[in-house]
Structure 1
Amino acid sequence: MKLQSIAIQEFKQFTGRLVIDDLQPGLNLFVGPNEAGKSTIAEAVRAVFLERYKASHLKDLLPWGKASGQPSVEVSFDLDGTPCRLSKQFVTRQRCELKIGQSVFGEDEAEDKLASLLGFSRAARGPLKAENAGVPGLLWVQQGGTQEMRDSTGHAAQYLRDALTQLSGGSESAGEDALIAAVQRELRQLLTARTQKSTGPLAEAEQTLARLIEERDELEQQRRQFEENIARLAAQQEAFDDTQRKRPWELHEQKALQAQLRADAAAELERSLQGLAQALKASEAELALPLQQEQNALELEAAVARERQQLDALRASVAAVQAEHAQAAASVAQFEQAFADANRALELANAAVTAADLRSQIGLYRAESERLEASIAAAGTANDAMLEAAREAATLEIDEAKLKRLAALSGELSVLRARTEAAMTRIEYRLNGAMTVDDETVSGEGVLRLDGEKRIGLGTLGELRVVPGVSDLPARLSELASLEARHAQLLQALGVASLGEGESRHEQWKALVAQQKSQAKILEVHAPQGIEALRAASATAAARMQAANERLAGLPDVSTAAPLDDARRNAEIARDALEAARKVLTQAADKKSTGMANEEALAAQLQRKEAQLSDEAFCRNRALWQTKIVEQRVQVEALRKQREGRERELEAARLDDPAAEAKRYRASAELARSEQNERQVRIAGLRSQLETVGASGLGERLAALEARVEQATRRKDELSLRASALSLLDEVLVDERDAAVAQLRAPLTERLGHYLKRIFPQSTIALGDDLSPATLDRYGRADTLDALSFGTREQLGILTRLAYADLLKASGRPTLLMLDDAAVHTDAARRDAIKRALIDAATRHQILVFTCHPELWDDLGVRQRAIEDLKVAA
């Protein structure tokens, strides 16, 4: 099947009619930006072939922004050399017509014929579903759906199988499939299809066996526990009797008593040691006070010697600082005079600059005044001319609407006069004598136009009665009179004698209005804010010039002024030098005052300390605390030796930690008593359990459960054996069927290999039962489609569809391929391979490619058809 033209009208974004003709039998490339209408064209083709024309859901096909319309699509195509035409109209006044050669099919018959020809099925109701799309759903790829192959291939699987059967000469055995299905149904009752897990009776048997085994194991555990409890009871009773004879807690209590006595003796030693420590601490405290007093006296003597040296050095430093201060004061006075001279020179230089600025401003004000005076004169001239043009235009102004009505009426009058004259009876005469027309004498030569019945007297020859042949002549004359009256009324209202005079007057008025506007523009150029504003600006400029002259006259004589930059630089140098001298003077003053203050403070401090050392009371107290230091040191040393002896005794007493020993033995005694009591409780509990279990018939219940376990094991083994047999039979049958199917699918496998090697050399594709690609085998590794990248799945989607198209064409099926933005995620190298595959396939099929990247497809050797150009041509 080859499309020849597509006509789309009032379809979504195409509010008008769009015609695409001259479609090539091979590759056709349509380009345009996003939302240009590429996908709308593809959708129109799908709708005209696949959608039911009476479907109520197609209201979204209405033109955008219009609540009503008649979406319609018409295609012309060639089918095995037979010209065909299909047209459908949707939503309102729905219709469908299919013409194949001389045969015409309408409505439902046409749609059934299309489904049969193209290989799809009609939906019972509602929109077309994916499972009904068949071959077109496989070959007509929508935007963003190139990589999705499994569903579309599955929906077209029956048509592909029919094509394979026709090409291979074989067929898939329906009986063999039925047998496999029956075996698998039986197998699925025992094992799940996917995970081969037990189900149905087998799962129930396994669960029953597991439950019985669990119950048996529980009884076995109870029996073993019963036997263990008997042995445990005997052991516990023997241990209880032996412990009751030995009574180990009494020995532990005796050892605890002895350890406690040793602990009490050690505590008494510790209390004695604490008393010695407190006495030693008190003696050391009494010694610390005279020691601190002696230390303070020694430090005071050292400080006096040190401060005498510091005072001598400080006095020498103060003398040097006073000399520096005097020198800095003299330097500041010198720099202050230089700074005053520089400031006076700077003021004179600033006055010179101000004078120059004022002279420049005076020149500018003078030029501005002259310019404003000239503008005032030009604006006055333009204003006078504008007023004169306005006055003259007012005398010539004419009503333009009435003038247009006069022109239209004059045209109508001319036409009506011509028609009236043509309708009158016209008599041309050339007389040698005279004749009468309604008693009026006529002679010579001329033309008579008779607008009604006339009597023409011919003298002795008699008379003629002339009746015009046009019956509506009086009406035309009446209409002519009415138009002439209206024409005269308009001339009078306009005050002109003719249309020409009125048009001439109107042209003169327009020229004066244009002149008025021109003068107004000139006035706006010279005086955009009015002539008074110009006069005010001129007065302001004159006042400013006068003020500048007065300021210039008030400045001093600047003929000896230095350049401003030199004067400013000299002033800055003088200021910096003065500031530096003042900083030096400030620093010298600070040093001087600080040195003198430090000298006075240090001298007073030294005098106080020397007086303290020479005080008689201080000397007597010093002799007393020196004596006390000697006595107190002897006492502290004796206490330290006594404390050390007690510490050695206490260390020997604590060597085995008698308090911890007593605690440990008491805990051991308590633990021995507690263990004996617990042992007695356990013996009572074990005797109670054994009596209860012994009376429950444990052995008989265990034997009965063993028999049930053996029976359940035989049932489970029988079902497992049946499942294994069915599984083996299923594998054998499937292998046999797959071998036959592989032979049947050979043509499709060959076409897939033809295209696949362009991008994936030395690779193969395994097909599923629905003939869709299942895995891609490369370099000995098989990857499922879901494991491949998006771009790779997109490329496989294009190549496999080309192979399906070859298969369908070989079996006589119509093939048309549509790819809407199909290779978006493909790199440059693989895109070139895709292009070669498309060019190859285009020798056998018609292919419509829609893309928003024309620069990537400009090397196909085919004309790119821009959607925008198609819209303009429409």
Structure 2
Amino acid sequence: MKLLRLRVEQVRQFREPVEVNGLEPGLNLFAGPNESGKSTLVRAIRAAFFERFKSSGVGDLQPWGDTSAAPGVELEFEWQGERWKLSKRFLRQKRCDLEIGGRHFSGEAAEEKLAELLGYQFPGKGASKAQHWGVPGLLWIEQGEGQELRAPVAHAGHYLKSALGEGLGDIASSAGDALIARVEAERAKLLTSTGRPTGEYAEVLRQHEDAVARLETFDRDIAAYRQQVDRLAELRRLQAEDAGRPWEAYRRQAVEARERLAEVQGWRQAREREAQALAHCIASQEHGRDRQAAFARQRQELEQRAGDRDLTRQRTAELRADSPRIEDRVRLAREDYRRAEARVAQARRQARRAALAAEQERLAAEHERLEGDLARAREVQARLQSLRERLRGVQVDEAALKQLRSLDRTLAELDAVRQSAATRLAYEILPRQQIRAGDEILSGQGERLLLEPVELDIPGVGRLRIRPGGEDVADLARRRQQVRDRFDALLAGLGVRDLGQAEERARQARELGEEIRLDESRLAGLAPQGMEALSGRLDQAAQRRRAVSEALASLPPEEAGAAGAAPDEAIDEAGAERGLESARERLQAAELQAMRHEQALGLAEQAGRTAQAEWQRLQDAIQAPDRQQQEQDLAVRLAELKAQETALRQSLDELDRRIEAARPAVLEQDAQRLARAADTLAQAAEARREEAIRVQSGLEALGAHGLEEQRADQAREAEFIGRRLDELKRRAEALDLLLDLLRAGRQALTLRIQAPLQRHLNHYLQLLFPQARLDVDDDLLPERLVRAGAGGTLHEAVDGLSFGAREQMGLISRLAYADLLQEAGRPTLIILDDALVHSDHARLDGMKRVLFDAAQRHQVLLFTCHPDRWRDLGARVLEMDSLRTA
């Protein structure tokens, strides 16, 4: 089968017709980016073959948003020397036409002819699904479905098996299968399908396991009994050693260690008292030395205070001498500031008068403008009211007018249909003869359209009754009358005599509406907040104008004042304010200097008084009568404290030597160790006594049960069950072996029947993996990939391969199916939509060899959005963008 031409129209993104011509008999590569229409072409081919032309479930073919589109597909292909042409249109103007040579098939007959040729089925109703697609569903791979093979093979299984020449179902009816079934039944009594024991075999196995478990329990109990006997003897030996109470000696040693530790603790307390006395002695010495240093610092400080007193007296005299100059500077700065302040006040009064005069002029202009706006707004408002009244008189309901137009078109269409369906009565009557047609007299020659039943009275002959057009004309008349009644009712509802008057009134209403909108825009520009707001603004402007006039009149006349300017002299307010700011800065600087001078003078006087008082205090302290005696007593006390420090240090050293020699940490550890050893020995002796009692009681209980006799009985029972288990095991293994042999024979028969398919599979597979083999199961599905690996031959389940490898095996299997179908004389066409996208570069190169080889026998349409990956395929490349510009 060779596809020659493809044409699609109004299919998804192809609203305009798109045609593909000149397809090669082998490889054809369609390349384009995503959303360029590749999948649309594939969907169109599928729809042409799989979808019934009458199906309403193909709405996905229509361009988005265009529910009136009628998707159409045309295909031309060659098969067995004949040219086939298929034309299908869906949803609107549904049809299906098939031409084969000079023969023509239409409708369902054409569809069944195609299904019979290609090997697929049509659904009973609704859209076509995968289970109906048969052979094309197997050979046409959709995006992302290359690795899925089980369902397509199942749907095409009948056609594939028939192509083998002998149905695989014949194998199941052979005489050998009856034996296999019998062996399977016998095996099923003893083993499950997975080889696990069942039935009597499972029960005997369970009994044997229980008997063995009971034997093991007896063995454990007997071993435990013997261990307890040995343990009791050991405990009695240890109890004999405990009779001497060895822990008492450890307790006495621990008490001696505690007594020695208490003696060392007394030495430690004595050392702490000596250390406290030494610290007190050192602190007393530090205190005495601090007092000696304080006496020396007082003498130095007296000299320093005398110098400070003299300096403060000199500084105070200098500051008092400078006071008159600073006071004069402050007085002059205050006079300058008062003059500048008066000048600024006069300038501000002049600026206020000028601002009020300007505001008065602005308000007068605004008042005049608002008066004009209010007058024009009132004119526009009056015109608007008139226009709205006129609009109410001619306004037409747009929905009703639209319906009236639609009914008028419907009446025209019905009249045209009636004219075409009416009976034409042509007559040619002899001179001086006439015929009565209803109420009309016909004579001479002419023609009349009969739209209703009419009776023709022919004098001397009789009467003819003519019913034009049968039931269709009468139905058209009734439909026209119904439409006319609705038309007249709408005219009456609108209050017009015909559609023209309604259209005229609608035109007038639109013009008046436009004028109203223009006037409303003008009114909004004149009075955006309404007439009342505009009138209020006019009143507010008048009030502000009067207020400004009153404020201007209330200003006092200008007079010459402290500023030193004439009444009519114009004063620059900014310059006056700068002068005021400069005078303020000078005044602030003078006042700040005066304040700092006062502060410095006060501080100097205070410092002088403080320095005199400090000097006098130190002088009195140094000249005190008992001062020398205190210094002498302090020197004697320091010598005594030094001698005491030496004696305390010697005593501390002696105590440290004695404590270190006694090793108190070791004494503490010895006391703990010996006490713990005594407690441990005592507790262990008590535990052994209690354990001996328990062991002896347990032995007495076990000895009464006769464990040895019970074990012998259980061993005989286990031996009997074991012999039965061996019998059943040998039978199960024999049946399992027999079934494997029978199935192997059946598999050999299956392989001989599947040999043609296996040959094609191995041919393609070895282009990818040399010396590899792809085994198939009874359903013709690839089951196992056998190939050479680093550690030897690998047997891999196809379902366990990676996604990319399963996609490659799926394509190879489909090509083998195509070879098988071609040998059986069936047509093949292979369509690959973005196949092998998960293959690495090395595998892809191998798959290109596979595709090129298959293209020698089959036509292949390959659609891809990665044309750079297929440049070396040796195929003609058809760019999708070129289809739109063709």
* Short-chain TM bin: 0.5 to 0.7
What whole-Å deviation, never above 9, does each CA across 1:107-133 have from its counterpart, x for those lacking one? 4x6554433211124556765443432
Q: 1:271 to 1:710 in 2, by over 3 A?
A: same
1: CA distance, partners of 2:612 / 2:186: 119
Q: Which amino acid aligns with 1:102?
A: R
Q: 1:297 to 1:667 in 2, by over 3 A?
A: same
Asked if 1 retains the 8 angstrom alpha-carbon contact of 2:258 and 2:668, the reply is no
Report the alpha carbon displacement of residue 689 of structure 1 after superposing the two structures with TM: 1.4
2: CA distance, partners of 1:772 / 1:812: 23
Bigger mean CA deviation after superposition, 137-146 or 839-848: 839-848
1:645-684 correspondence runs (5 A): 654=667, 657=670, 660-661=673-674, 664-665=677-678, 667-684=680-697
Residue 283 of structure 2 corresponds to 292
Asked if 1 retains the 8 angstrom alpha-carbon contact of 2:29 and 2:876, the reply is no
Q: Which amino acid aligns with 1:50?
A: F
1:86-485 correspondence runs (5 A): 87=88, 100=100, 101-102=102-103, 104=105, 107=108, 111-123=111-123, 128-163=128-163, 165=164, 174-175=170-171, 183=180, 197-201=194-198, 205=201, 208-209=204-205, 212-213=208-209, 215-223=211-219, 225-226=221-222, 229-230=225-226, 232-233=228-229, 236=232, 239=234, 242=237, 247-252=240-245, 256=248, 260-261=251-252, 263-264=254-255, 267-268=258-259, 270-271=261-262, 274-275=265-266, 277-279=268-270, 281-282=272-273, 284-286=275-277, 288-302=279-293, 305=296
1:579-594 correspondence runs (5 A): none
What whole-Å deviation, never above 9, does each CA across 1:278-319 have from its counterpart, x for those lacking one? 455445545544442222121333466578779989999999
2: CA distance, partners of 1:43 / 1:849: 14
2: CA distance, partners of 1:848 / 1:645: 109
Q: 1:118 to 1:231 in 2, by over 3 A?
A: closer
1: CA distance, partners of 2:613 / 2:745: 121
2: CA distance, partners of 1:619 / 1:181: 138
1:524-603 correspondence runs (5 A): none
1: CA distance, partners of 2:217 / 2:149: 60
**Which of 713, 716, 724 lines up with 1:703 in the alignment?**
716
Q: Which amino acid aligns with 1:256?
A: E
Report the alpha carbon displacement of residue 707 of structure 1 after superposing the two structures with TM: 1.9
Q: Which amino acid aligns with 2:684?
A: L
Q: Which amino acid aligns with 1:249?
A: D
Residue 58 of structure 1 corresponds to 57
Report the alpha carbon displacement of residue 137 of structure 1 after superposing the two structures with TM: 0.7
What whole-Å deviation, never above 9, does each CA across 1:317-368 have from its counterpart, x for those lacking one? 9999x99x99xxx9xxxxxxxxxxxxxxxxxxxxxxxxxxxxxxxxxxxxxx
Q: 1:131 to 1:628 in 2, by over 3 A?
A: same
Q: 1:184 to 1:641 in 2, by over 3 A?
A: farther
Residue 745 of structure 1 corresponds to 758
Asked if 2 retains the 8 angstrom alpha-carbon contact of 1:149 and 1:797, the reply is yes
Asked if 2 retains the 8 angstrom alpha-carbon contact of 1:150 and 1:772, the reply is no
Asked if 2 retains the 8 angstrom alpha-carbon contact of 1:191 and 1:723, the reply is no
User: What is the count of residue pairs matched by the alignment?
Assistant: 736
Residue 766 of structure 1 corresponds to 774
1: CA distance, partners of 2:625 / 2:207: 108
Q: 1:62 to 1:256 in 2, by over 3 A?
A: same
2: CA distance, partners of 1:112 / 1:642: 123
Q: Which amino acid aligns with 1:199?
A: R
- Partner-residue secondary structure (3-state), 1:713: helix
2: CA distance, partners of 1:696 / 1:59: 86
Q: 1:200 to 1:634 in 2, by over 3 A?
A: closer
Q: 1:701 to 1:762 in 2, by over 3 A?
A: closer
- Partner-residue secondary structure (3-state), 2:826: coil
Asked if 1 retains the 8 angstrom alpha-carbon contact of 2:87 and 2:97, the reply is yes
What whole-Å deviation, never above 9, does each CA across 1:408-453 have from its counterpart, x for those lacking one? xxxxxxxxxxxxxxxxxxxxxxxxxxxxxxxxxxxxxxxxxxxxxx
1: CA distance, partners of 2:117 / 2:609: 122
What whole-Å deviation, never above 9, does each CA across 1:463-520 have from its counterpart, x for those lacking one? xxxxx99999xxxxxxxxxxxxxxxxxxxxxxxxxxxxxxxxxxxxxxxxxxx9xxx9
Asked if 1 retains the 8 angstrom alpha-carbon contact of 2:180 and 2:739, the reply is yes
Structure 1 length as normaliser, TM-score?
A: 0.55
Matched, 1:812 2:825: yes
1: CA distance, partners of 2:252 / 2:641: 45
Report the alpha carbon displacement of residue 85 of structure 1 after superposing the two structures with TM: 3.9
Q: Which amino acid aligns with 1:140?
A: W
Asked if 2 retains the 8 angstrom alpha-carbon contact of 1:32 and 1:867, the reply is no
Q: Which amino acid aligns with 2:678?
A: Y
Q: 1:669 to 1:250 in 2, by over 3 A?
A: farther
2: CA distance, partners of 1:731 / 1:43: 45
Q: Which amino acid aligns with 1:686?
A: L
What whole-Å deviation, never above 9, does each CA across 1:519-566 have from its counterpart, x for those lacking one? x9xx9xxx9x9xxxxxxxxxxxxxxxxxxxxxxxxxx99xxxxxxxxx
Point out where structure 2 has 5 or more consecutive residues left out of the alignment.
Answer: 320-324, 326-393, 395-443, 449-514, 529-568, 571-592
Q: 1:261 to 1:52 in 2, by over 3 A?
A: same
Point out where structure 1 has 5 or more consecutive residues left out of the alignment.
Answer: 331-398, 400-467, 473-515, 530-555, 558-580
Report the alpha carbon displacement of residue 828 of structure 1 after superposing the two structures with TM: 9.8
Q: 1:315 to 1:222 in 2, by over 3 A?
A: farther
- Partner-residue secondary structure (3-state), 1:682: helix
Report the alpha carbon displacement of residue 231 of structure 1 after superposing the two structures with TM: 6.4
What percentage of aligned pairs have identical amino acids?
Answer: 25
Residue 346 of structure 1 corresponds to none
What whole-Å deviation, never above 9, does each CA across 1:26-50 have from its counterpart, x for those lacking one? 248596863x776455435434422
Q: Which amino acid aligns with 1:142?
A: E
- Partner-residue secondary structure (3-state), 2:291: helix
Matched, 1:727 2:728: no
Q: Which amino acid aligns with 1:138?
A: L
Asked if 2 retains the 8 angstrom alpha-carbon contact of 1:4 and 1:76, the reply is yes
2: CA distance, partners of 1:44 / 1:726: 51
What whole-Å deviation, never above 9, does each CA across 1:4-41 have from its counterpart, x for those lacking one? 455667x7x58xx968575435248596863x776455
2: CA distance, partners of 1:198 / 1:130: 37
Asked if 2 retains the 8 angstrom alpha-carbon contact of 1:150 and 1:773, the reply is no
Q: 1:801 to 1:723 in 2, by over 3 A?
A: closer
Asked if 2 retains the 8 angstrom alpha-carbon contact of 1:260 and 1:659, the reply is no
Report the alpha carbon displacement of residue 802 of structure 1 after superposing the two structures with TM: 5.7
Q: 1:618 to 1:283 in 2, by over 3 A?
A: farther
- Partner-residue secondary structure (3-state), 2:825: coil
Q: 1:122 to 1:637 in 2, by over 3 A?
A: same
Structural RMSD (CA)? 8.1
Q: 1:826 to 1:678 in 2, by over 3 A?
A: closer
Q: 1:306 to 1:793 in 2, by over 3 A?
A: farther
Q: 1:813 to 1:233 in 2, by over 3 A?
A: same
Report the alpha carbon displacement of residue 648 of structure 1 after superposing the two structures with TM: 5.7
**Which of 21, 30, 35 lines up with 1:24 in the alignment?**
21
1: CA distance, partners of 2:182 / 2:607: 117
Asked if 2 retains the 8 angstrom alpha-carbon contact of 1:818 and 1:847, the reply is yes
Report the alpha carbon displacement of residue 684 of structure 1 after superposing the two structures with TM: 1.7
Asked if 2 retains the 8 angstrom alpha-carbon contact of 1:77 and 1:85, the reply is yes
